[in-house]
A and B are shown apart, each in its own frame.
Chain A
């Protein structure tokens, strides 16, 4: 019963999950080996989207709740290293392919 209730309450979310999974499978169906490393690195940078949660955590924390603020701060720093470093490193790799064309 609880399962049915959960399904009914979250049906849009479930659609989204399923479609995104299929999209993720299909979107990189054919990749030349050359691009495996940059692609992995780029996807890794995208997974840094978890930073959004850390930003929301800091925003909703009480100004005197230093534990939440501290955790959120650490989260934003970690997420930002992932995002900024990830995209920069991918760009650096791909820049090398561009030159000799």
Chain B
């Protein structure tokens, strides 16, 4: 009696910790504390699940302890080994494993039905099917998102013609199969249920494949919300409140977060899912042929920066890949020491995920007040002497402002062309992640400084030191 009360209380406190933790995670000052609180809630819930009385259960604690130890070790090691630049993939793969866990749970229900021959009622069957569907999509979708961000796949090689129609057909087949299982009863339609699961797994991949790399954060966030829903569905199978509350909470807040991310890119979710930019060739309208690209020497660039009043760095994924954040800070320190006002313009989707760039720069000890968000950055840019673009591309593309034919038309961008001079640090003339031509490179104010971001910045730092 008392023991059951303690268990119930532990679950309740765990659920509360999730809610308050999530709330605190959404404000900068309390975020870290919120994460720890939610983590503590999880530990409490796991302990309660291990300790709760289950009449007649064999417990098999050895299996549980071993599995917890194994999973915990893998998770912690992976999270400390991962490079900050690879963070989005990491989140995606963790998320996929959560989905896989839900699939395993529903799969074990299938197996139980098969071995006992006793059919669960319609409600439970619906639940099992939903868990298979949502969990399956989460699993393969997240793994594919991981593979795409990790550049394990070539660009959109696997997209079929009329891919969105293929997806819709797949979804209809899934619904039909699900309805069939519900009508004939799970114990009579094992094979169909297994086909249902396989198709759900295929659908997960098919759903993510055509989505362009630049939209991947939105997809990961959406899949995150799916994994919450699958956890809640699995919670219904086990009639466990904290799974339901935790899962639904993530499902709902994940949906909101997904929409917030879409808003930051000024696009609708539907647009992201169906129309993805990845392949867009229509942006090449400006052509490259007769436009001239001007180059600047390291020495000239160093002089220009050193004697400016204000410099705004625009970091992008290229900076992250080159691990150039620390060298960038070094250049910043040298310039600041000479009285140059140095700021960083952070586009909401700079890097590969919202907030990703802030994390990378914070890692390099760039003071928080130097990081400007979109609006502040555009104000600062209009009075800046030099805008230095380090490995960013699509987020500084003027086509988003003035070329209605461009796939990114309407996306808010950093208006670097309002600064007096522009210097673009770039490896080559290749187009950006979204595969769109950037007229900025041919802008009259712009000068290119070709080379690896880290390498160029360290040479720049060396040049500045000689001045």
Contact = CB atoms under 8 A, between A and B. Distances in A.
Interface string A18-52: 00111111011111111111111111111111111
B28 A54 contact: no
B256 A29 contact: yes
Interface residues of A, number: 82
A42 B80 contact: no
A67 B109 CA distance: 11
B264 A33 contact: yes
Contacts of A51: 46, 49, 101
B419 interface: no
Contacts, number: 372
Nearest to B23: A27
Contact of B71 (A13, A61, A78, A88): A78
Given A27-B22, A47-B227, A50-B101, A80 B72 contact: yes
Contact of B261 (A36, A58, A91): A36
Nearest to A89: B79
A38 B261 CA distance: 13
B50 to A, nearest CB: 6
Interface in B59-85: 59-61, 63-64, 66-68, 70-72, 74-76, 78-80, 82, 84
B249 A34 contact: no
Contacts of B104: 54, 71-72, 74-75, 78
23 contacts: A27-B253, A28-B22, A31-B257, A33-B346, A33-B348, A36-B260, A36-B261, A38-B31, A39-B22, A40-B220, A41-B91, A42-B21, A45-B39, A46-B228, A46-B246, A49-B231, A59-B58, A60-B58, A71-B105, A79-B71, A82-B75, A87-B36, A98-B32
Interface of A: 2, 6, 13, 16-17, 20-25, 27-63, 67-69, 71-101
